[in-house]
Amino acid sequence: MNDPKTYVTQPWLPPLEEFLPYLEQIWQNRILTNNGPFHKRFEAALCEHLGVEHVSLFCNGTIALVTALQALGIQGEVITTPYSFVATAHSLLWNRIEPVFVDIDPNTCNLDPQRIEAAITPRTTAILPVHCYGTPCAVAEIQAVAERHDLRVIYDAAHAFGVRHGGRSLLAHGDMSVLSFHATKVFNTFEGGAVVCRDAQAKAQVDYLKNFGFANEVTVLASGINGKMSEMNAAFGLLQLQHVARAIELRARIDARYRERLAGLRGVHCLPRADVDADNHAYFPVLITAGGDTRDRAYDFLKAHEVYARRYFYPLIPDFPMYRHLPSAAASNLPVAGRVAQQVLCLPIYPDLPLERVDEICRLLGRALELPHAA
């Protein structure tokens, strides 16, 4: 094969010659950070591309999450999902907030809206759902619960770049939405992130906090952090915006090929397609339902053949030491998330992945499922 080592996702990079003029402008401007011209252009371009009004750029998605929570004054307890990358819950701990884990929906892998209300206590101040794999959360139901109990809603939208749902950007829901532009995401700036805000006042607050709390040269309004995006990352983001539609189109072809090749394969369940106006095909998760240690044996078999799938998300966040003591972390409280974490396997998907390699991955997965169980 031309692509012997196949990872779950790889960053798509445009031709170097397209990036060089941007680098030359940065060198000529001699502005490397601190809200420079590329930073301003990129924020404006993102607003137009995503169909939102207010975007604040960040050095990464984790700092963006931490800052969004601080900007909204979130304290006490926050209801969130156990099934995500650890940064979701870590952002709460960094703000001295207690995560309260609620089980997930088995079809979407998102926070189950029917279980949120029972987890609310007098200390609850917000809900932090994740649009897992880019599949929209039950935004209307979550908003209804939030309004009944006067709670804020902050969406971890790390997987949801460009997703449209119900006739508008998925990022427009909630009080804030947080994006990741990490190198492995559908859209990347090497490293980066952003907070999508409802109004100009909220964006101003976020902008203060990501710059140490400075409002001007002599005024510090809050104990902020250094979360600014560099000019280099912003320039790369501007370039990537020119290519992201084609990248998503190629990902869609790969998604369709997987579904075609895996249809009818016993022991493999492809999660349903998202009910969206525009998908981004951020990941291709399957559930290995054959039982026992089959998922892990399949993972090891693929790895031995240089196919580097990932068990996103395993272990569950509540299984890590800093969360195990929480009452909501009990396995009995999270049966669906626990089962999905034991079954999930994200297969490689990225724009440059040849369809022939997709076919080979599917054949290898089929062989893995035929292996005898360990004694």
All domains of the chain, ordered by start, with CATH? 6-10+244-369 (3.90.1150.10), 16-241 (3.40.640.10)
**Residue 375: which residues within 8 A CB-CB, separation 6 or more?**
none
- Provide the terminal-to-terminal Cα distance of the chain, rounded to the nearest Å: 34
Long-range contacts (CB closer than 8 Å, 24 or more residues apart) made by 243-248 = 243/12, 243/14, 244/49, 244/161, 244/162, 244/186, 244/187, 246/351, 247/12, 247/186, 247/187, 247/351, 248/162, 248/186, 248/279, 248/280, 248/281
* CA 363 and chain centroid, separation: 29
Q: Is the dihedral of CA 169, 173, 178, 183 positive or negative?
A: negative
**pLDDT for 312:** 97
The helix/strand count (H/E) of the chain reads as 11, 16
pLDDT of the residue at 1: 39
Four-point Cα dihedral 132, 138, 141, 144, nearest 10: 60
Give the residues of the chain that fall short of pLDDT 70: 1-4, 373-375
Rounded alpha-carbon distances, angstroms, from residue 229 to 72, 84, 266, 329: 21, 24, 46, 35
Alpha-carbon span 192 to 63, nearest angstrom: 9
User: What pTM did the predictor assign?
Assistant: 0.96
Structure tokens at 75: 């304290």
Residue 158: per-residue pLDDT:
98
SS3 at position 295 = helix
3-class SS at 288?
strand
Give the contacts of 2 (CB within 8 A, at least 6 positions apart): 354
Nearest CA-CA partner of 75 in 42, 46, 109, 99: 99
Q: How far is CA 334 from CA 131, 313, 338, 351, in A?
A: 18, 14, 6, 35
Contact 38, 339 (CB under 8 A): no
What pLDDT does residue 373 have?
A: 65
Nearest to 314 by CA among 346, 347, 285, 341: 341
